[in-house]
Chain A
Amino acid sequence: MVFSSNVFLLYFLPLFLICYFVCPKRFRNYVILLFSIVFYAYGAPDFILYLLGSTVANFYLVKMMRKTEKPGLKKLYCALAIIVSLGLLVYYKYANFLIDNINALIGIFGANAIRMAKVLLPIGISFFTFQSITYVIDTYRGNNEPMEKLTDYIVYIMMFPQLIAGPIVRYCDIEGEIRHREYSANEFLQGFNRFIIGLSKKVLIADVIGFQVDKLLAGDLAIMDSGTAWITIAAYTMQLYFDFAGYSDMAIGIGKIMGFHFPENFDNPYNSASITEFWRRWHMTLGAFMRNYLYIPLGGNRCSKRRMYFNLWVVFLLSGLWHGASWNFVIWGAYHGLWLVLERMGLKKFYEAIGKAPSVIITFIIAMVGWAIFRIEDLNQAFTFIGRLFAFDFSTFSISADAQFYTTLIVALLFSFVALFPFGKKLQDAVFYEEHTLTGTVILWVIAIFMLLFCLGALNAAGFSPFIYFRF
């Protein structure tokens, strides 16, 4: 189930809210659990048992790890718990990719291809795997005590707002709130407003732009003029951001309604003056995960420069692979890793020398080119497209008539960069984070209700394309 669906907005969410708030506080985790199982089973009924099974296994492995006094055994349980989580991720997400590549390789030597039935990918596996890893490692490190109740642990892993697409919530961040939460009508309203902002980002911006991006990229990329290519990639850049950030807003908003405080996932990433900064602002919870559970254990900065560059590359290669089991994601990860290394090698000094605005523009262009590799799975096509970007051939460029697309794109660009300016930052803080006066709350509340109705219209209007009469 996705948030921007009729089933969720018109049935699941109202039913959940009523059950959640009507139930006594001590039973509310069970309500979350029940609704989360329904939420996941609705979208992927085949995998619900797998998800529950791996979650239960992890819970007991961690419990045993915590109980034992022997360091060796502790390590073993920790490794086992990680292997269970990662093993399943590797199998479900990368088995097809691995087999395809092995077959391609052995095909060169004339060997017969290995045959294996295609493995279907359980939705959200990348996110809940990482969440369970944070729980295992943080408990192993002694940062937190393991959960006492299995149901509370399942709630942590399976909580529906962030189950499918994050944010990746570290156990230590919401440990207390799983056990005990404060509720306030004010937070409820703030959460609702945040949810509507996210829904609007997704439905009114990302979907509108995405529709046109799909159409543009379905054409022959080799003959695309540079103007169209830049518009296409700028549009995709906005689509991806508003889609993902919108989803995160919705998750954070529902979390707030429920009394949870999930970590922020985006902080105006396109305002970054370097790729290093970009990764501190884009998918922040993934960045934090990679830093805490991969980069630092590999040695982080506290090693030789060469080793540090190697670590950065490894982290970004794996980060790319985490996004999808395909070579374009690996290349995309390597591309970002390369820029990070270059920045550490001296590019950052260049950025500092030219000032913030040019650096932001350069970083934005680097990110856009990266998104081309990310979006176009076929690497040949991806590089053809990038070639068209830099061919600077505007001879056949013409702006098509879809005013909605262009207007939405401009609005998206404005929203993306508005926080670069002081008034924009103020506005953003006022909408997202500050507590409002009563009048302010009422105004925002009315706007949110209107936007909900508007989004419902947007979601369903496209599906209603009537004919004047049936013409047989």
Chain B
Amino acid sequence: MKNKRTYIVLYTILTVLLFLPLAQYSFGVFKFRPLWGSASKASKPDFTFSNLASGKYQSGIEKYISENYGFRQPTIRLYNQYLWTFFKKTYANDVVIGKNGWLYFDKNVKTYYGTYQQTIFKDNADAVLTYDRNIRVLNKLRHVLKDFDIEFLSYISPDKCYVFPDNIPDRQHDTTTIDVTKYFTQRFDKLGFPYIEMSQMYKNIADTLFYTPFSPGGAHWNFSCVYAADTIVHFIEKAGGINLAEIKIGEYRQYDKFEEKVKHRCDYDIESMLNLIFSRDHSKYPLYLADITIESDSTCVKPNVLFVGNSFLWRIKDFIHFDDIFSNPRLWYYNKEAYDLATLAMKRTSKLDKTFEIMLSDYIVTFCGDAQLHQISFGFAGETLIKLCLSDSIVEKKIDELCQKHNMSRDNAITTMNENPEVFDELKGDGIPTMRNENAIAVYKAVSSMKNDKNWIKILDGHARYLKMSTKDLMELETKNILEGKPLMHDCDTTICRNNYQTAVDKLTKYWENDKEKTKYFEDKAKKRGKTTHEMMLLDANYTILNDKSKYFPRIFTNN
């Protein structure tokens, strides 16, 4: 040992280094690029003797630390980079590494090779049973929606494997299974069901565009999705015989700056899931952007549109302001999460008044990929068909029957019913159901009367601006008022609304002031936020009244 001091310094640094992950976990001193992708999060296990004895604590805490330790992001990226650089390997779920570094999703590759079917269905007959039922349900719903002046359309989003098959890894084609896209499109043609199959369209686009419409590292379409949006707009125009605003594409420019790549990370979404240290080389397939303008004239209308489907719409939303073309554009993402495409506010679809949302729409567009056709519309069609056709008592009776017969929970019974509405005799077969739900008819009438009365909408707009709410939300409230025979906002001028709103806020604030526990709560909260207790109470009262509409709004819009 030539230099004892240096050794001691190294030893001290080492001890400090060993503590760094713990310190980083506790204080988060360094900021690292977060890991991309969705994964379930483990919660911290409870430290109890029984958990310790059974080994649950140990496995739980190991998983928890694995997901939270300091320097997790750089260490995982470091190992991923090693795997990728040397072995072209990744732990990312469902990712298939194709030729020339092209990335695909396994489901899509399997669908392309005809091997995905066997992971879902027993055999061809089993698959056809589901496919045919889905097509029948879509067709029935389309006819039922027509009675409510709603056009129902469907499109099949393009599949990277079909557009760029040359770079898929070589696998054995299974020719014995059904080509699901072909099966659906043939049936749709036969039924005259309006649809667009985009894979073929994108194959054509790919030959004419000067950039790849799918980037090698992405699962979704890139800027090229604007062409798809244009197609959808024209599709709707044609279906409804209407004139919509036009999408105009400006000058193209290549983008390669880091900030832009982060902003448009969706173009490299599969690649991002690799969670590497160094970005892959994109110079061979540069990507482009252009400014988009929406041009409209006095002949243009803005129909209400509800989209139900997968993630392909997100990319369109990045480039196009849907609210410049449509009124109340909404996306029911996988029929589970409802997004207002103008504000991106999200609610669970289970929390929505679905009948109102449907009746508000002039067009409903479902979209899904080839690998998702077996669950096209993600349960929306079945659920809506039941909701619009059958009375609540029939539905309740069937739920009870399913629960008893199959010993399942209510939730499972509802899911089963929505997936297969043909469990109802009334909805079986190819015929269009003749029954209609009375509530649906009443909602339709209420919504139609508002939509067709420009003055009514104007009044609601006025209230909405003052209350900082959307007109759509007030239309929903007004529909309830109509159905329940309550005073209408239509008949209430904005001054009364404002006065009553203020009265409601004052009443609630006073109520809280008289409650010792609440006062204490607001004192603490105000302290934390650096406000006075009264200011805090006012803020919360405003928030409560705005958000708990059903409880407070009747009072706001009446003199009571």
Pairwise interchain contact B14-A464, C-beta atoms closer than 8 A:
no
Q: Determine the distance from Cα of A445 to Cα of B88 in the docked complex, in whole angstroms.
A: 29
Among the listed A438, A441, A454, A472, which residue makes an inter-chain contact with B78, where contact means beta carbons less than 8 Å apart? A454
Q: Which 5 A-B pairs have the closest CB atoms?
A: A466-B37, A457-B79, A457-B75, A185-B7, A6-B65
| Cα A454 to Cα B269 with chains together (Å) | 25
Instruction: Find out whether the CB atom of B93 lies under 8 angstroms from the CB atom of A466.
Output: yes
- Identify which of A6, A458, A464 gathers the most chain B CB atoms within 10 Å of its CB: A464
Tell me if B119 counts as interface (CB < 8 A to partner A).
no
Supply 24 A–B pairs (Cβ within 8 Å), ascending by A. Answer: A6-B62, A7-B65, A10-B25, A18-B19, A45-B49, A186-B7, A189-B7, A192-B14, A402-B87, A403-B86, A442-B10, A454-B82, A456-B69, A457-B82, A463-B63, A463-B67, A464-B275, A465-B91, A466-B35, A466-B93, A468-B37, A468-B38, A468-B94, A471-B334
Question: Is A395 at the interface (CB under 8 A from chain B)?
Answer: no
CB neighbours (8 Å) of A91 from chain B are none
Identify whether the interface residues of B are mostly helix, strand, loop, or mixed.
helix
Assembled-state Cα–Cα distance A435/B86 (Å): 33
Cα distance A375–B261 in the bound complex, in angstroms:
50
Interface size on A, residues (CB 8 A): 51
Shortest CB-to-CB span from A230 to chain B, Å, is 22
Interface pair B7/A6, CB less than 8 Å apart: no
Residues A10 and B69 in contact in the complex (CB < 8 Å), given A18-B19, A184-B1: yes
A174 within 8 A of partner (CB): no
Instruction: Determine if A46 and B53 form an interchain contact, defined as CB atoms under 8 angstroms apart.
Output: yes
Question: Do A457 and B80 have beta carbons less than 8 Å apart?
Answer: yes
Given A449-B17, A453-B71, does the pair A459, B66 have CB atoms closer than 8 Å? yes
Write out the residue numbers on chain A whose beta carbons fall within 8 Å of the beta carbon of B3.
438
A111 interface residue (CB < 8 Å to B):
no
B316 interface contact, C-beta 8 A: no
Least CB distance from A40 to B in Å reads: 12
Count CB-based A-B contacts (< 8 Å).
156
New contact pairs (16) apart from A10-B69, A442-B6, CB-CB < 8 Å: A10-B65, A188-B11, A403-B88, A449-B17, A453-B71, A456-B69, A460-B69, A461-B79, A464-B37, A464-B91, A466-B35, A466-B93, A467-B39, A468-B37, A468-B270, A468-B273
Report the minimum CB–CB distance from B317 to chain A (whole Å).
14
Contact indicator per residue, chain B 477-504, by CB within 8 Å of chain A (1) or not (0): 0000000000000000000000000000
Residues of A within 8 A of B219 (CB): 468
Cα(A438)–Cα(B5), bound, Å = 11
**Shortest Cβ distance from B60 into chain A, in angstroms?**
11
Given contacts A45-B53, A185-B10, A467-B39, contact A17 B62 (CB under 8 A): no
Q: Does A350 contact B (CB under 8 A)?
A: no
Do A466 and B39 contact each other (CB < 8 Å), given the known contacts A404-B87, A457-B75, A458-B79?
Answer: yes
How far does the alpha carbon of A396 sit from the alpha carbon of B105 in the complex, in Å? Answer: 29
CB nearest neighbor in B for A471: B334
A residues less than 8 Å from B78 (CB atoms)? 453-454, 457
The answer to whether A387 has its CB under 8 Å from any CB of chain B is no
A contact residues around B83 at 8 Å (CB): 404, 461
Interface string of B55-91 (1 = CB under 8 A from A): 0001001110111011110111111101100111101
